[in-house]
Amino acid sequence: MKLIQTLNYAELSQQAAAQVLSRLKGNPALNLGLATGSTPTGLYQELIKDHQLNRTSYQRVNTFNLDEYIGVPKKDHHSYHYFMCEKLFEHIDIPIEQTHIPDGTAKDFGKECTRYEQFIREYGGIDLQVLGIGQNGHIGFNEPGTSFDSRTHLIDLAESTRKANSRFFASLDDVPRQAITMGIATIMDSREIFLLVSGITKAEALARLMEGEVSEEFPASVLKKHPNVTIFADKEAAAML
């Protein structure tokens, strides 16, 4: 794993964006894996800025998001569909039908997981996956204890994850209890991975990732087994290294 330390969040976002743009330049039909949460929003703002300034085109790009809450309709402000449209898709020229996110309102979640997994495969796999990390080491919504062999699946969210995400909801009770997430093996199939880590609340997780052992109890540790991972960490996140 390659570690890039930046002074602050703004620089982290700029550096990650520059690297995403260089991959896009090399392959204008990039299969780009995307994440939600607070951490990647600065990267998305940088991509939007670049699109406005330099007209970088996403017409041939397909995006694949990591996860979606169960039971939250696409149009609901809390859905990851809504989040991605608001934070990125509606500000660049990507055809909306080329943006892919698991359907958290599917009738049959087992079928939806299989469909999403096969779908990624049919598209030839993910070239570059952007990830955040949970304080408990989750990647996507793969909570501690998830098998490293897992494929796209339904998961019960950890209480700590629900609490962390309750800042986006009126109350903790409103935070969904389940999600569909790409599995750990699905994420590991990506040809390249960018892990974005920002802020003091992630310092312990980053230290455990860099210095701890590989264990299913700390899902992000699997990334040590991937040949092409770059970690972008700001000063606060790197405080315990």
Residues at the site binding ligand PGA, with contacts judged by CB under 6 A? 37-39, 132-134, 138
Query: For residue 179, which phi and psi values (nearest 5 degrees)?
Result: -150, 160
Nearest-CA neighbor of 50 among 83, 10, 20? 20
Q: How far is the CB of 80 from ligand PGA (least distance, A)?
A: 12
Q: How far is the CB of 54 from ligand PGA (least distance, A)?
A: 26
Q: How far is the CB of 73 from ligand PGA (least distance, A)?
A: 21
Q: Choose, from 51, 62, 65, 67, the residue flagged as catalytic.
A: 67
Nearer to ligand PGA, 134 or 183 (CB): 134
Q: How far is the CB of 140 from ligand PGA (least distance, A)?
A: 7
Nearer to ligand PGA, 51 or 138 (CB): 138
Verify whether residue 51 is a known catalytic residue: no
SS3 29: coil
Q: Choose, from 46, 117, 127, 143, the residue flagged as catalytic.
A: 143
The identity of residue 186, as a single letter, is T
Verify whether residue 136 is a known catalytic residue: yes
Verify whether residue 138 is a known catalytic residue: yes
Verify whether residue 165 is a known catalytic residue: no
User: Is the sign of the CA dihedral 205, 206, 211, 215 positive or negative?
Assistant: positive
Q: Which long-range contacts (CB under 8 A, 24 or more apart) does 210-216 make?
A: 210/1, 210/3, 210/241, 211/241, 216/144, 216/145, 216/146, 216/147, 216/148
Residues with catalytic roles: 67, 136, 138, 143
